[in-house]
Amino acid sequence: MRAQQYPYLSLRPMATKVRVRFAPSPTGGLHLGGVRTVLFNYLFARHHGGDFVLRIEDTDNTRFVEGAEQYIMETLRWCGMEPDESPAAGGPFAPYRQSERKASYMQYAEQLVAQGHAYYAFDTPEELEEMRNAFKSAENPSPQYDHRLRMKMKNSLSLGEEEVGRLLSEGVPYVVRIKMPEQETIGFTDMIRGEVSFSTSTVDDKVLLKKDGMPTYHLAVVVDDYLMQITHAFRGEEWLPSAPVHLLLWKYLGWSDAMPQWAHLPLILKPDGNGKLSKRDGDRLGFPVFAMNWTDPRSNEFTQGFRERGFLPEAFVNMLAMLGWNDGTGKELFSMTELISAFDMSRVHKGGAKFDFEKAKWFNHEWIKTAPAERLLPDVKDVLKTADISAVDDSYVKQVIDLVKERCTLLPDFAEQAGFFFKAPAAPDMEPVKAKWNLDKTLFFTDLPAVLEALPTWNAIALEAAFKEMAAARAIKVGELQLPFRLMLVGGKFGPAVFDIAALIGKQAVINRIKKGLESLA
Ligand code: GLU
């Protein structure tokens, strides 16, 4: 078949615009490594004014997991990385789910067979198993379907033409395998690693098309990167071993000139640097490795996400970007806009990046601290609602946020740090001040409400002045009065400046809490 006969090909203009794709298989939740791959794709696309495509690689039916695609889309949305083209958004190269493109792959498999770069293989699963047992030896402990064994198997290279014709006409199921050259060195220039080369001798004859006519990942990824005019393909380092198969497919299909530039992103490592970070490390060490909560519908296994743990997407994205990249100036805090303008693939490190949960929390704290109250408002209201704290007045909630945000590392911290602005402490624990309590202090707090009532202006400065003046008049050290005052208002030894708290919760609430505090001390 000639290229012009393929419908997609005739549409193909010269690709000048940057086009990248994130191509997940819908097999479960997205963990850090996956989201970082999206992020680097996204940053690169936006930096170059290009397109960011989401393509769902669902050719492996046995690994398909219900809900995974929705989860992936929701994660991208939460992180602020909306694709320009996707199954949901559509686009000029739709469909964006490989299962819906099934019909378009067969012709390329046939083309490869016709040109001698691939062949039909009729072996049954039992025969394959037999091969693995029969050819196992000290020098070849796990025999593969490759140049050493292919002529001993049942395929269109080893069988006569007539026999092949017979099997095909009888409808005997077959797969199409690539015919890997016996001894060839092939290579490419990786944007991160530079020159990378492989010897084809160790790579087996991968299946390209399955018995049901569905392509495997290897064929589908090459065909779709070509048809979708992808200019740059960034993916995890774990895909590097597949590169020789893909390189040959680009070559055999006659598309070498259109091959995207590849970058294989370094792994995200366990905190101790010992290998790839896994979901299990998160469970073991008590931190999330998924972007959002995920429950596997097959096993009901639950995995906690950064979102539900109380991370802001801004912080999550910022933290992820710094796992394997920096701008060379020592700057660590970047908004998405800043990342887009600073991102440069040549500054992505070759080595893996160790994940450090404490550092991740540091990013979140920095983001919470500097976020405008307006930005935090919906999240904080959710946190308060979950803690059964009613917060209806937005302008009040925003004032509270500004007072306490510096003390919050994760969003749920707002429940404790802000809760007492909405609800009086149930029974204030006055224990810390009991030992040094005396009659003078009781009288001070008994008389304080009247002084507060009489204040002409209600603000922190006026409150503090009146409080200190009263303490001086009674010769009591202010330091010894502030802690009990805090315990009465807050219910614990924490929170922002006590007069700021008093000013915000209001005169009546302050007076009520003083009375309750005195009762606890009585
Ligand atoms: N479908 C592959 C995955 O699940 C995509 C790898 C690639 O980007 O080529 O990660």
Residue 432 to residue 450: CA distance in whole angstroms = 26
- Given pLDDT bands bounded at 50, 70 and 90, which one contains residue 140? confident
- The DSSP bridge partners found for residue 195 are 189
- Contact residues for 446 (Cβ-Cβ < 8 A; gap 6+): 518
The tokens for 507 are 């005169």
Residue 411 domain flag: no
Give the SS3 label for residue 486: helix
Residue 490 domain flag: yes
Question: How many angstroms does the Cα of residue 386 sit away from the middle of ligand 1?
Answer: 38
Residue 192 domain flag: yes
pLDDT recorded at residue 8: 31
Rounded to two decimals, the pTM is 0.93
For residue 203, the domain's CATH number is: 3.90.800.10
Residue 289 domain flag: no
Identify the residue whose tokens are 């693939």: 345
Q: For residue 522, is pLDDT > 90?
A: no
pLDDT recorded at residue 3: 33
Residue from 56, 57, 237 to probe ligand 1 pocket by mutation (most atoms less than 8 Å from CB): 57
pLDDT recorded at residue 512: 97
* CA-proximal residue: ligand 1, atom 10 (nearest): 24
pLDDT recorded at residue 4: 31
Residue 178 domain flag: yes
Residue 82 domain flag: no
Residue 139 domain flag: yes
- Contact residues for 234 (Cβ-Cβ < 8 A; gap 6+): 20, 37, 40, 41, 44, 191, 262, 263, 264, 265, 345
pLDDT per residue over 375-396, tens digit each? 999 999 999 999 999 999 999 9
- Contact residues for 290 (Cβ-Cβ < 8 A; gap 6+): 29, 30, 31, 32, 279, 282, 303, 304, 305, 306
- Contact residues for 55 (Cβ-Cβ < 8 A; gap 6+): 21, 22, 23, 86, 96, 97, 98, 224, 228
- Contact residues for 293 (Cβ-Cβ < 8 A; gap 6+): 302, 303, 304, 305, 307, 308
pLDDT per residue over 467-478, tens digit each? 999 999 999 999
Query: Which ligand 1 atom lies nearest to the CA of residue 34?
Result: 10
42-46, 210-214, 398-402, 427-431, range with the lowest pLDDT: 427-431
- Given pLDDT bands bounded at 50, 70 and 90, which one contains residue 427? confident
5-9, 255-259, 432-436, 498-502, range with the lowest pLDDT: 5-9
Q: Is 174 left (phi over 0), alpha (psi -120 to 50) or beta?
A: beta
* 79: nearest Cα among 35, 19, 25, 40: 35
Q: Is 240 in the pocket of ligand 1 (CB under 6 A)?
A: no
Work out the percent of the chain whose per-residue pLDDT is above 70: 97
Mean of pLDDT values over 389-406: 97
Q: What is the CA radius of gyration of the chain?
A: 32
The tokens for 75 are 């994660």
For residue 443, the domain's CATH number is: 1.10.10.350
Q: Is 57 in the pocket of ligand 1 (CB under 6 A)?
A: yes
Mean of pLDDT values over 148-174: 97
In the 3-class helix/strand/coil scheme, how is 53-111 assigned residue by residue? Answer: EECECCCCHHHCCCCHHHHHHHHHHHHCCCCCEECCCECCCCCCEHHHHCHHHHHHHHH
* 316: nearest Cα among 364, 268, 354, 369: 364
Query: Which ligand 1 atom lies nearest to the CA of residue 233?
Result: 8
Residue from 35, 99, 235, 276 to probe ligand 1 pocket by mutation (most atoms less than 8 Å from CB): 235
Could you confirm whether 423 is annotated as catalytic?
no
Domain boundary among 183, 209, 235: 209
Residue 137 domain flag: yes
Mean of pLDDT values over 498-511: 98
Q: How many domains does the chain have?
A: 2
- Given pLDDT bands bounded at 50, 70 and 90, which one contains residue 16? confident
Query: Which ligand 1 atom lies nearest to the CA of residue 37?
Result: 8
Q: Where are the alpha helices (DSSP H) in 455-477?
A: 460-473
Q: For residue 222, is pLDDT > 70?
A: yes
pLDDT recorded at residue 28: 93
Query: Which ligand 1 atom lies nearest to the CA of residue 235?
Result: 8
Residue 71 to residue 293: CA distance in whole angstroms = 9
85-94, 114-123, 160-169, 428-437, range with the lowest pLDDT: 428-437
Domain boundary among 155, 178, 209: 209
Domain boundary among 170, 189, 209: 209
* CA-proximal residue: ligand 1, atom 3 (nearest): 24
Question: How many angstroms does the Cα of residue 56 sit away from the middle of ligand 1?
Answer: 9
**Average pLDDT score over the chain:** 95
The amino acid sitting at 510 is V
pLDDT per residue over 209-220, tens digit each? 999 999 999 999
Structural domain including 445 reads: 424-521
Residue 283 to residue 273: CA distance in whole angstroms = 17
Q: Where are the alpha helices (DSSP H) in 310-459?
A: 313-321, 336-342, 357-370, 373-386, 394-404, 413-419, 431-434, 439-454
Q: For residue 9, is pLDDT > 50?
A: no
pLDDT recorded at residue 327: 97
Q: For residue 15, is pLDDT > 90?
A: no
Q: Is 56 in the pocket of ligand 1 (CB under 6 A)?
A: no
